[in-house]
Chains A and B, each alone.
Chain A
C-alpha cells in the first residue's frame, strides 16, 4: 500500500522544522517515529502534501535526570526508555515503555510523537496524566510549557499550533513513599489496548496521602477518575475504598463499542484494571518489588 505522493523534507534542527512547518503551511506534517503516521498515510486517512522528517536531527533522543526531574527528548524511542536506568526509577514509565506494541515498534516510536498524535488508545498520555508531566512546545513565536492536561484537547487533537512541535517532555520523579503502576489489557502485542489504567499512589503509613487514577482507551481522551481519587485520598486504604475507586472508574469511563469489545465489557474491564493497578502501586509505594506490565491473552 502506497501513501499519496508527498514532498519530503529533512529538518536539520527543531528550529528548522518549525520554520519549515510555517513556510509549507497546513499541508505539512512532522514525521517522528512514524509508527502511527505511516500506517495512517498508507490507509490514506492522512494525506500530507509535505512531510518534514525529524529523525535526522541529532540530540533529540535523550533521558536526562536533573534535580529529581526527568527530561525526555522528543524523539526518545520507547525502547530507549524501556532500557534506561533513569526511567526505571519511575517504574510506571518503564512498564509503559516496555509494553507498547512490540520490539520493532518500540525501536521506532517516540514519546513526543505519541503525545502529539493524541490517539485515545495511546499509552503515554494515560500514564503521564498521573504524573506531574509538562510538555515543552516550540514554535515560530517562541516556547511555552503546558501541563499535559492542557496540552491534550480532544481525540487526535492537541493545543499545538500548526507551526509548533513538542521539544521536550518533563516528569518529576515521585517521592520515596509513592508508587505507580500501569496495566493495559490487549488482545496481542502489536495492537492497541482494549482498556488501560494508570495509578500513582503516595502513602503515609496505612493511609493514602495522595492518588491519581487515569483511564485509557475508554473515552476521547484519557480520563482522570476524580471521584475515585477522592474515595481514597486522606483515607485509610481498605478493600472497600479500593472497590469504591473501581466503581467510580466504571462510571467515569465512556467507552465506545468496537472490534475490541462492547462498551459494557470495556467498562467492567477498566474497573478490574484499576483495582489491580492500585494493588501494584500500593505495594510499590511500600517499597516492594512487583512486576506489572501490559497483559495479553
Chain B
C-alpha cells in the first residue's frame, strides 16, 4: 500500500483566476482550496457529505467540496465565497444575508450563499418551497433558518431589479 501516491497535475480556474498545481490524488477539493490556495472562506463542517458548509460551485452547480477530489476539478471553473464580491462591493446575496440577519456564528454562511447562488441563477423567482428545497443540503445550527429564507428571497428581488446576471 503506497503511503504517498504519485502527484498529478491540476489546472483549475477559481474565482476567475487560473491555478496550475501538482496534487496528491487523495486531496479533497476543500483541502486544496483552503490549504494550497489559502481560500479559507470555504469551511469544513461535518466532512461527511452532510452539512454543506463546504459548498462551492463547480461549473455553475453546487457541490460539496469535501466529497470531490481536487483532481476531479481539473479544467473546471470553481466559485467560492471569495468570488462573490465584485470590485469591492458585496454581492446582493451577501448584502441580503447581512441585512436580514441571515446568520449568527457565520460558519455555515459561505456554503448557504453558494447554494443560494445556484438557485437564483437557475430560478430568479423562487417561491418559499423552492428556497427550502435549494438549501436542504445546508445545515445551520444557530438561526432556525427563518432569516436565511428571508435573505434569499430578498436577494432574489435585489438581483432581479439590478439585472444581476451572476
Q: Which residues between 118 and 157 of chain B lie within 8 Å of chain A, taking CB atoms?
A: 118-119, 133-134, 136-138
**Cross-chain contact B8 with A8 (CB below 8 angstroms):** yes
Distance between A47 CB and nearest chain B CB, rounded to angstroms: 8
**Cross-chain contact A5 with B136 (CB below 8 angstroms):** no
Residues of A within 8 A of B118 (CB): 103
A190 to B53, CA, bound (A): 13
**Cross-chain contact A104 with B52 (CB below 8 angstroms):** yes
A108 to B118, CA, bound (A): 14
The answer to whether A49 and B1 touch (CB under 8 A), given A34-B72, A104-B55, is: yes
> What sequence of 0s and 1s flags, for each residue 9-25 of chain B, a beta carbon within 8 Å of any chain A beta carbon?
00000000000000011
Question: Which range contains the number of B residues in contact with the other chain?
Answer: 35 or more
CB nearest neighbor in B for A293: B133
CB nearest neighbor in A for B25: A8
Residues of A within 8 A of B61 (CB): 79, 107
Distance between A153 CB and nearest chain B CB, rounded to angstroms: 26
B5: contacting residue among A6, A41, A56, A108, CB under 8 A: A6
A49 to B2, CA, bound (A): 8
* B43-51, B84-92, B101-109, B158-166: which lies at the interface: B43-51
Is residue A4 within 8 Å, beta carbon to beta carbon, of the partner chain? yes
Q: How many residues of A contact B (CB 8 A)?
A: 33
Is residue A289 within 8 Å, beta carbon to beta carbon, of the partner chain? no
A38: contacting residue among B68, B119, B134, CB under 8 A: B68
> What sequence of 0s and 1s flags, for each residue 44-57 of chain A, a beta carbon within 8 Å of any chain B beta carbon?
00010101010110
Residues of A within 8 A of B55 (CB): 104
**Cross-chain contact B137 with A103 (CB below 8 angstroms):** yes
A7 to B1, CA, bound (A): 10
Residues of A within 8 A of B2 (CB): 5-7, 49
Residues of B within 8 A of A295 (CB): none
User: Can you list 8 pairs linking A and B with CB atoms under 8 Å apart?
Assistant: A4-B1, A8-B6, A8-B8, A8-B71, A38-B28, A105-B137, A107-B61, A107-B62
The chain B residues found within 8 Å of chain A, CB to CB, are: 1-6, 8, 24-28, 31, 47-52, 55, 61-64, 67-69, 71-72, 74, 115, 118-119, 133-134, 136-138
